[in-house]
C-alpha cells in the first residue's frame, strides 16, 4: 500500500466556514436526520440556533439501507435548507450521495457531507476533491484509520484541502447500540493527521439516553466538534426517529457541554 502523503501536514488545519473556525473552537452541527417540510426544518433550525449550534444539518439526499425507505426530498430539500439558512443565518451541512448531484448540492450547501456508506466511493471522493467547499468525510462502518485517511487523500489529491473527519461509529459484535462509537479514534486522528475531527454520537449509538454522555466524552477526548440529530418533533420523524433529540434535550445538552468546556479552559 502506498504511503499517505497529504493527510499529515505539520500545521493543524483550521477551516473557516462563514467565519466559524473549525479546528480552533468546539463547533456543534445540529439538525434533523432528514429535511421533511418547511415548518419542520425552520422550527428545528431556530431551536438549535437558540441553543447555541453553529451549523445546521439536514439530509436532502438520503442514503438508506432499504430502497423502499424515504430517500429524501432532493432539490426541494435543498431549497428548504436555504429557507432555514435565511431565517437563522446558520450555514448548511448536507449530504451528497451521487457524483451527478455535486454541483447542485454545492449551490445550497456550505459544507458537503460524504456519508459512511460512501467513504469508499472513490469517484464521489474525487468529485468533491474538485470543489471549493469544505467536506465532512464520515468514517466507513468497517474502515480502519488508515483506510479512512486514504479516502481523505483522494479528496486532498484532487486539490481540495478542506476536509473534516467525522467518527460515527463502527460495526462490532455489540447489538445494544446501533454502532460502536470509537472515541479512541479521536486522539488517534490527532496524532496521525492535521485534519479536524468531529464526532456524531447520534448515529454512533442510535439511542437517546446514550447520546448526551457520548457527546461529553467526545469533547473530553479532544474532538473539534459534534454532529447531533435534533428534530422539533422526533416522534413524527420520517427517518431515525429513535435517535433525534428534542429541542429541550438539546438545550440541556448544550448547557452541559459548555460547563464541561469551562473545566478545560480553566485547567
Ligand atoms: C447522516 O448523517 O445523515 C447519515 C446518514 O449518517 P451515516 O453516513 O454516518 O450513516
Ligand atoms: Mn440519521
Q: What is the CATH number of the domain that holds 171?
A: 3.20.20.70
14 in a structural domain: no
For ligand 1, atom 10, which residue shows the shortest CA distance?
116
Q: Residues 151-171: pLDDT tens digits?
A: 999 999 999 999 999 999 999
For the chain, percent helix, then strand, then coil, each to nearest 5?
Answer: 45, 20, 40
Please provide the average confidence, as pLDDT, over all residues in the chain: 97
Q: Which ligand is nearest to the CA of 230?
A: 2
For residue 78, the enclosing domain spans 29-265
With a pLDDT cut of 90, the percent of the chain lying above it is 97
Is 241 among the domain residues?
A: yes
User: What pLDDT shows up at residue 265?
Assistant: 75
Instruction: Answer whether 168 contacts ligand 1 (Cβ < 6 A).
Output: yes
Q: What is the pLDDT of residues 186-226, one digit of tens each?
A: 999 999 999 999 999 999 999 999 999 999 999 999 999 99
Check whether 25 has a pLDDT greater than 80: yes
pLDDT for the residue numbered 266: 76
Q: Which backbone phi and psi does 198 adopt, to 5 degrees?
A: -120, 165
For the Cβ of 115 lying below 6 angstroms from any atom of ligand 1, the answer is: yes
Residue 20 falls inside a structural domain: no
Distance 266 CA to ligand 1 centre (A): 34
Q: How many domains does the chain have?
A: 1
Q: Are 218 and 224 in contact (CB under 8 A)?
A: no
Nearest CA, atom 3, ligand 1: 33
Q: Which of 33, 109, 140, 244 to mutate to test the pocket of ligand 1 (most atoms within 8 A of CB)?
A: 33
Report yes or no on 15 lying in a domain. Answer: no
* 16 belongs to a structural domain: no
- The whole-angstrom separation of Cα 172 and Cα 188 is 19
pTM: 0.98
In a domain, 225, yes or no: yes
Amino acid at each position: 500500500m502506498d504511503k499517505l502523503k497529504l493527510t499529515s501536514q505539520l500545521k493543524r488545519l483550521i477551516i473557516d466556514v462563514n467565519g466559524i473556525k473549525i479546528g480552533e473552537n468546539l463547533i456543534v452541527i445540529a439538525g434533523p436526520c432528514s429535511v421533511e417540510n418547511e415548518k419542520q426544518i425552520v422550527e428545528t433550525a431556530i431551536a438549535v440556533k437558540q441553543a447555541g449550534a453553529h451549523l445546521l444539518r439536514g439530509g436532502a439526499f438520503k442514503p438508506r439501507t432499504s430502497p423502499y425507505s424515504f430517500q429524501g426530498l432532493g432539490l426541494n430539500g435543498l431549497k428548504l435548507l436555504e429557507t432555514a439558512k435565511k431565517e437563522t443565518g446558520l450555514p448548511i451541512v448536507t449530504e451528497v450521495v451521487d457524483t451527478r448531484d455535486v454541483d447542485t448540492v454545492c449551490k445550497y450547501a456550505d459544507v458537503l457531507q460524504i456519508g459512511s456508506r460512501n467513504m469508499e466511493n472513490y469517484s464521489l471522493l474525487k468529485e468533491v476533491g474538485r470543489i471549493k467547499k469544505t467536506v465532512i468525510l464520515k468514517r466507513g462502518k468497517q474502515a480502519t484509520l488508515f483506510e479512512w485517511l486514504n479516502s481523505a487523500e483522494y479528496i486532498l489529491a484532487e486539490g481540495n484541502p478542506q476536509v473534516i473527519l467525522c467518527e460515527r461509529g463502527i460495526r462490532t459484535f455489540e447489538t445494544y447500540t446501533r454502532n460502536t462509537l470509537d472515541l479512541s479514534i479521536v486522539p488517534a486522528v490527532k496524532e496521525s493527521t492535521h485534519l479536524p475531527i468531529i464526532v456524531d454520537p447520534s448515529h454512533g449509538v442510535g439511542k437517546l439516553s446514550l447520546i448526551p454522555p457520548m457527546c461529553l466524552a467526545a469533547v473530553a477526548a479532544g474532538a473539534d466538534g459534534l454532529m447531533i440529530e435534533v428534530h422539533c418533533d422526533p416522534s413524527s420523524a420520517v427517518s431515525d426517529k429513535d435517535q433525534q433529540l428534542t429541542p429541550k434535550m438539546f438545550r440541556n445538552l448544550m448547557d452541559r457541554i459548555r460547563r464541561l468546556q469551562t473545566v478545560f479552559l480553566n485547567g
